[in-house]
Structure 1
């Protein structure tokens, strides 16, 4: 080597230059001029072959470095003759007489030295997370280092895979060169950074302030927003004027948001945030935007037993009561025709912005079929339909789809006293009836069956004028007289004073139920449907009547005898 140096100096011409170069060479070799194995030395690439790079390190023989150590990830050789390099002297001579060198090991030794120096100066290092290992992550900082799971972030991290292939800054918290052990922390840097940000954030943190933040975490009841070193809670009720089932419907972790500070407690460092408060409450001008009669379109957001809530814009919902869903269908539950998420049309029936209430109607979208019934079924017309329901007070007859008419029990028969409509009708029977009345406003359709026939009371006075003698059957005996059926379904009263000329204490001493009698009509009250009858008025009207009285007396004696005989037997 000294001969080479002399020759080089001779060519340049100058003993002083040679002395300086020799002194420098000695310093590079530890002062004694001897190259030591395991040291990093400087050299120059003199030749590049297929397998090696030949490097001159100023030794008696040249060294070789595997070409793979100079190959980049794309497979390209990144060195050429004349390039200066630093290499590790692994062996001063191999079997072929060449010096064994390593650029890769030199790089690693230099990195270890740099990391060691960074630890001493309390500096940060950069690295790329390359994979998962037991208990944490593996980081490439030039050499492999370990990042414990607890040191990845300020908060515990469930999914460590999300950090792989990403570059970060780290603090070395443990370093052992002999064992090749390096432990890193990202959390330490984040906490320090967070404290600095927190100081700045606190300067601007006050109620009413609008700040930018990042969604840090989502829960069922809200979202935690990182305002910069300090977290605030954005409750789900303060996210939107509209209805939200879960915060994830609006946000993802990492989203940037603008929020307003609703409340701040400096002692506890608790911050309540709002998002919807940045925007105007949509109810402020709802009555101007949706006056009564306005036709709106919205989405079903909730269904209850009594109706469905329709969102007509974000934050503005109206209720369609079950009674306002259909003109004709009797809905037991709104879910029979609606489902959550369905889009519907409705009409505004009423609005109260202060109470934040809107009454909507769906059936009002279509023409009320009841308004057409008056023209289709005029009063007095006859309809035919099936009995759809039988109740205590009458029967419902199907007029058309969704429209039933009621035949009240009092409109079933002119003459028959009906205790329950079920005595005469059952569900499914087909009947005819007369249209009596249509109440469009209250949606009531009144029918009558007895009106199919003339009212026998209207012509009673013509058939049986006052003074007529008629035969009938006693239907009931009371303390004040006896009721006698003079025509099917038409009864008259023989008052106790009209039974006999002499005073009668007990009508049952004169007549009995089911007895056939002859009476005289003494009055007819058609409006009240009452007929006054008399038996004593027939006295003196001829032999026939006297014979009638004789037979009545004999009949009474015979009945009395039967009663006495019955008592004696007992």
Structure 2
């Protein structure tokens, strides 16, 4: 017997004692009886002459003794229930011989008594008579003896026996085949079973590997039957298996890279890339173990018995006519399947995914990451911007579903319009003011004030402030909206050239001292620069240390540039002017003195001439 040869190395004694059902009483009682011997047939029917009314007491005694000779202790016989009492059931085993069976042997799992008068049962004669003269019978022990006979027959005939897995024991499972038997863990299935508890309560056919009636040990195998069945199916499958064939199979195992499908005694691999034209994150998303599926044989290596399977190949590649179904401009509804830094991938249909770039998600918002707009699993509406079936790419746009607000913004807010809005953000270079939904206008730092030197807009404004501004420019292509605050008032520099003419003396306060000169505030928002070369007549390297902030100085306007908003001042030229004035006064005074001296000389000469001529007057005298 081939199966027995394969299992000679199995040690029956290793079966757990907890899984054994001891039948010591029945075993010892029938130890002299071969387990393979069949149960005795029904007693011969009574002859017509053998009726109770026809027999004398002596004949009845002889008949009873004869029946006892035919049915020995430890033997199994058939009997008929003649009475059901509270504690026992009375069974007639022939020749008016009646015995008792404890009532508990007729109770089922729910405690219900399953015994009726007239019902035939197999019984074991445990004792011909006890001290009370009662014949003791057992229904349970008779059943176990019959089970052991059946076990012996199945084992010798290399057959199968049916049983129910009833529990876990060390090293395997306990199986009820009429008596408890041991099923090793390695013999449960073709592959290791992770959850043995899931098999409890299930019925299977088993092979008997070994049994020992004396010790009540039985070792079973389900794997042997499965291997035989698998080998038979494999032979049939190999006769019809070929590339391109469509077959039915059962999912046997699931891995990260695919699923193994039982095609009938031979396994094929359905790789994750051949499951769908679309995206599959993990095979478990599509299949469960035990699923029946239809697959196509892609490749078959008969020598190595390796089969590659495909599922998506049962359908046409959706990209073949995608350009016809999704021309540019088509609106589609799809599910977001994944996100990347640069955009979101949307499943248009199974096998076709399109990309919505972050720049195509909003007309007005600057989207840094697609998660700010959509999440995986969201259903979105989009427009086909371009399609390339050869490269299997579709570009989609979400913002194109709505009108572009920049198309009408110029009409709504023409240049020169005064608007009011709330400051949404403050940066080093300016203020962002909310104009319309999703549209912000920028007030550049240079357009905040005509005259103030602003280092940072935060010095004057804070986020949330309401401000007024004038529309300066709208750049639709670059989506830029330029505003100005200082333009709400006239430019004071329009009057500066007239107010501070070249040569005008001015007084101002030093606001900054640098190596190249002094910045002097002439009035609020109006500054002039005294270059280092215009500080003094003598050449100096730097005014730092010579002047301090808030010093009041006097200077002379030497230049005015309205376009560049610059005023040039000079302290040196102011000193030169003073020197020239002093010199002029000196020259003027010198000339006057010279003129007076000449007059005196002329007068003296005239008097001298008069004296010489005798014309001296009395006054001169």
Give 1:256 shift: 0.9
Q: Does 1:49 align with 2:91?
A: no
For residue 49 of structure 2, give the secondary structure of its aligned residue in structure 1: helix
Q: Measure, in 1, the Cα distance between the counterparts of 2:300 and 2:504.
A: 97
Equivalent residue number for residue 153 of structure 1: 189
* 1:324 corresponds to which of 357, 360, 366: 360
* 1:355 corresponds to which of 382, 388, 391: 391
Report matched runs for 1:432-443 at 5 Å: 432-443=468-479
Structure 2, unaligned runs of 5 or more = 1-42, 55-64, 507-524, 529-538, 540-553, 566-576, 585-621
Q: Measure, in 1, the Cα distance between the counterparts of 2:244 and 2:197.
A: 39
Higher relative contact order, structure no. (Cα contacts within 8 Å, ≥ 6 residues apart) = 2
Give 1:120 shift: 1.0
Tell me the alpha carbon deviations over residues 3-39 of structure 1, each in whole angstroms, 9 at most, x when there is no partner: x759349x99xxxxxxxxxxxx99x99xxx6543212
Report matched runs for 1:92-241 at 5 Å: 92-241=128-277
Identify if the C-alpha distance between structure 1 residues 104 and 490 changes in structure 2 by more than 3 Å, giving closer, same or farther. closer
Identify if the C-alpha distance between structure 1 residues 69 and 470 changes in structure 2 by more than 3 Å, giving closer, same or farther. closer
* 1:278 corresponds to which of 314, 323, 328: 314
Give 1:278 shift: 1.6
When structure 1 is superposed on structure 2, of 319-328 and 428-437 the one drifting more is 428-437
Report matched runs for 1:303-342 at 5 Å: 303-342=339-378
Give 1:225 shift: 1.6
Give 1:246 shift: 2.5
Q: Measure, in 1, the Cα distance between the counterparts of 2:255 and 2:583.
A: 100
Q: Measure, in 2, the Cα distance between the counterparts of 1:233 and 1:473.
A: 98
Give 1:384 shift: 4.1
For residue 303 of structure 1, give the secondary structure of its aligned residue in structure 2: strand
Identify if the C-alpha distance between structure 1 residues 53 and 433 changes in structure 2 by more than 3 Å, giving closer, same or farther. same
| Aligned residues of 1:388 and 1:427 also touching (Cα < 8 A) | no
| Aligned residues of 1:46 and 1:56 also touching (Cα < 8 A) | no
Give 1:196 shift: 1.3
When structure 1 is superposed on structure 2, of 214-223 and 43-52 the one drifting more is 43-52
| Aligned residues of 2:90 and 2:98 also touching (Cα < 8 A) | no
Report matched runs for 1:31-110 at 5 Å: 34-41=70-77, 43-45=78-80, 47-50=82-85, 51-58=88-95, 61-66=97-102, 69=105, 75=112, 77-81=114-118, 85-110=121-146
Q: Measure, in 2, the Cα distance between the counterparts of 1:399 and 1:172.
A: 87
Report matched runs for 1:413-452 at 5 Å: 428=463, 432-448=468-484
Q: Measure, in 1, the Cα distance between the counterparts of 2:377 and 2:444.
A: 43
Tell me the alpha carbon deviations over residues 202-249 of structure 1, each in whole angstroms, 9 at most, x when there is no partner: 223333222211111222332222222222222223222333332222
Give 1:265 shift: 2.9
Q: Measure, in 1, the Cα distance between the counterparts of 2:115 and 2:84.
A: 13
| Aligned residues of 2:429 and 2:457 also touching (Cα < 8 A) | no
Identify if the C-alpha distance between structure 1 residues 135 and 435 changes in structure 2 by more than 3 Å, giving closer, same or farther. same
Give 1:77 shift: 4.1
| Aligned residues of 1:224 and 1:233 also touching (Cα < 8 A) | yes
When structure 1 is superposed on structure 2, of 154-163 and 371-380 the one drifting more is 371-380
Q: Measure, in 2, the Cα distance between the counterparts of 1:419 and 1:267.
A: 85
* 1:404 corresponds to which of 440, 458, 470: 440
Structure 1, unaligned runs of 5 or more = 13-24, 475-487, 492-507, 509-513, 531-546, 555-570
Identify if the C-alpha distance between structure 1 residues 96 and 292 changes in structure 2 by more than 3 Å, giving closer, same or farther. same
Tell me the alpha carbon deviations over residues 312-336 of structure 1, each in whole angstroms, 9 at most, x when there is no partner: 3333322222222222223332222
Q: Measure, in 1, the Cα distance between the counterparts of 2:274 and 2:440.
A: 49
**How many residues get paired?**
491
Identify if the C-alpha distance between structure 1 residues 471 and 223 changes in structure 2 by more than 3 Å, giving closer, same or farther. same
Q: Measure, in 1, the Cα distance between the counterparts of 2:458 and 2:163.
A: 95
Give 1:175 shift: 0.9
For residue 7 of structure 1, give the secondary structure of its aligned residue in structure 2: coil
Computing the radius of gyration over CA atoms, which structure comes out larger, 1 or 2?
A: 2
Identify if the C-alpha distance between structure 1 residues 265 and 549 changes in structure 2 by more than 3 Å, giving closer, same or farther. farther
* 1:7 corresponds to which of 49, 57, 69: 49
Identify if the C-alpha distance between structure 1 residues 78 and 52 changes in structure 2 by more than 3 Å, giving closer, same or farther. closer
Tell me the alpha carbon deviations over residues 142-177 of structure 1, each in whole angstroms, 9 at most, x when there is no partner: 222111121111111121122122111100001111
Q: Measure, in 2, the Cα distance between the counterparts of 1:173 and 1:423.
A: 90
Identify if the C-alpha distance between structure 1 residues 100 and 376 changes in structure 2 by more than 3 Å, giving closer, same or farther. same
| Aligned residues of 1:53 and 1:67 also touching (Cα < 8 A) | no
Tell me the alpha carbon deviations over residues 315-364 of structure 1, each in whole angstroms, 9 at most, x when there is no partner: 33222222222222233322223222223322222222332222222223
| Aligned residues of 1:390 and 1:421 also touching (Cα < 8 A) | no
Q: Measure, in 2, the Cα distance between the counterparts of 1:217 and 1:197.
A: 18
Equivalent residue number for residue 535 of structure 1: none
